[in-house]
Structure 1
Amino acid sequence: MVNLTSLIIAEDDADDRLLIEDAMNDNDIPSDCIEFVDDGDKLIEKLAEFKDKPVIVFLDLNMPRKDGRQALKEIKEEDQFKHIPIIIFSTSSNEEDIKTSYKHGVNTYFTKPSKYSELVEIIATVKSYWWDKASYIC
């Protein structure tokens, strides 16, 4: 079971950030372990701050400056970051985005749902796997 210190959510849309945080709270994931960033550059900076702590990243593909595609590739090429679990959480259901994300080392890929209840269910699935079942050591 993960002793989760931080969950970093790279999401540029304020409404999506609020919905994700609410869904996390509905799944008993405390807000104080969630950090939000709004682009890939800020994500890389935040990861450097959490260098010695277990962390999981929710990554949107479509963000300004450095997008999720670029950030994923950079994270998985860096020895200090490549072990970090990355969960793509994007509006894109484009087959090429999905294939490329897995090619670059993403752990799983979710297309953002249109219903809040489905979002809560996705977060529950992630929590069940990463918090309750997976073994993870940073």
Structure 2
Amino acid sequence: MSKREIYLVEDSSDFRQLVRGIFTKFLPEYHVRFFQGAQELYQYMVLQSAEQFKGRRPGLIILDLQLNAISGLELLKLVRQTPGNTETEWKNIPIVILSGTSRQEDINRCYQAGANSFFVKPTEFEELHTLLETLCRYWIDYNRLASADIPDPIIAK
């Protein structure tokens, strides 16, 4: 099992509490770090990008699209543009959008900005539990990330 973390960026304290309960009761084998917004995540990314950082690395980032101050879409773009280090290459980390909206325009913009998946937040507890378990199994247990030291094909030319 991977030691990588799941980052969840969500400004609703009620939704964070619901997700925390699901992971605590049903998915305790995964470690989730919760962020209330874009600035909080970005500050942590800066800390984590330091070569001497010894904490867990993210294996998956789950973003709410409708965040206060900085939107999930803007945060997605920022994450994809953040330089990595020998341990964490931000452009390679899977990012899943979990949103209350299902507007095709939003979905398209998220994929254009580098999202790996887009899901509408389930309204039923069991659906949310199933979705979170599926995301974890796929992105953390089965998916393999590219190493941080692979050359960028555009720069390598």
Asked if Structure 1 and Structure 2 have the same fold, meaning a TM-score greater than 0.5 normalized by the shorter chain, the answer is yes
Name which one, 1 or 2, has greater alpha-carbon Rg: 2
Picking from 73, 76, 82, the partner of 2:77 is 73
Picking from 37, 42, 45, the partner of 2:43 is 45
Does the residue aligned with 1:21 lie in a helix, a strand or coil?
helix
Picking from 50, 57, 70, the partner of 1:54 is 57
TM-score, normalised via structure 1 length: 0.87
Higher relative contact order (CA 8 A, sep 6+): 1
With over 3 angstroms needed to count, the CA separation of the structure-2 counterparts of 1:44 and 1:97, relative to structure 1, is: same
Q: Is 1:28 aligned to 2:28, yes or no?
A: yes
Work out whether residues 4 and 131 of structure 1, in 8 Å CA contact, stay in contact via their aligned partners in 2: no
Work out whether residues 27 and 120 of structure 1, in 8 Å CA contact, stay in contact via their aligned partners in 2: no
Shift of 1:28: 2.7
The share of aligned pairs that are identical, in percent, is 27
1:125 aligned residue? 134
Residues of 1 paired with 2:92 and 2:140: CA distance?
16
Residues of 2 paired with 1:121 and 1:88: CA distance?
16
Residues of 2 paired with 1:34 and 1:89: CA distance?
15
Q: Which amino acid aligns with 1:126?
A: L
With over 3 angstroms needed to count, the CA separation of the structure-2 counterparts of 1:18 and 1:122, relative to structure 1, is: same
Work out whether residues 40 and 63 of structure 1, in 8 Å CA contact, stay in contact via their aligned partners in 2: yes
Shift of 1:69: 0.9
2:105 aligned residue? 96
Q: Which amino acid aligns with 1:78?
A: T
Does the residue aligned with 1:82 lie in a helix, a strand or coil?
helix
Residues of 1 paired with 2:137 and 2:4: CA distance?
16
Give RMSD over aligned pairs.
1.7
Alignment gaps of 5+ in structure 2: 85-89, 149-157
Q: Which amino acid aligns with 2:109?
A: T
Residues of 2 paired with 1:34 and 1:66: CA distance?
22
Residues of 2 paired with 1:50 and 1:37: CA distance?
14
Q: Is 1:110 aligned to 2:113, yes or no?
A: no
2:152 aligned residue? none
With over 3 angstroms needed to count, the CA separation of the structure-2 counterparts of 1:120 and 1:41, relative to structure 1, is: same
